[in-house]
Amino acid sequence: MKMSKKAAGYMVLVVFLMSIFLVAGCGGKKDAAAAGGDKKPITLRMGHAVPNEHSVHRATVFFAEKVKEKTQG
């Protein structure tokens, strides 16, 4: 399938804008927690709709154990 020059131009523009937003989103501002301010705990909750024997469930449990280990609870 051949893409027209106009469509190709739009694709380049979209990729460029997405790159700009990515760079801006990873900007240099540091929040108070990173600067040693008050740290509030972050709670992550994850759910799935597969049986306990499924590999997704096992991977989720493994991930939860690793997070608990690395964050001391």
The reported pTM is: 0.45
CB neighbour burial string for 11-47, b if at least 16 within 10 angstroms, e if fewer = eeeeeeeeeeeeeeeeeeeeeeeeeeeeeeeeeeeee
Per-residue model confidence as pLDDT tens digits over 6-55: 888 899 999 999 998 888 877 666 665 555 567 888 888 888 899 999 99
Mean pLDDT of 50-64: 93
- For residue 68, how many C-alpha atoms fall within 13 Å in the half-sphere facing its CB? 8
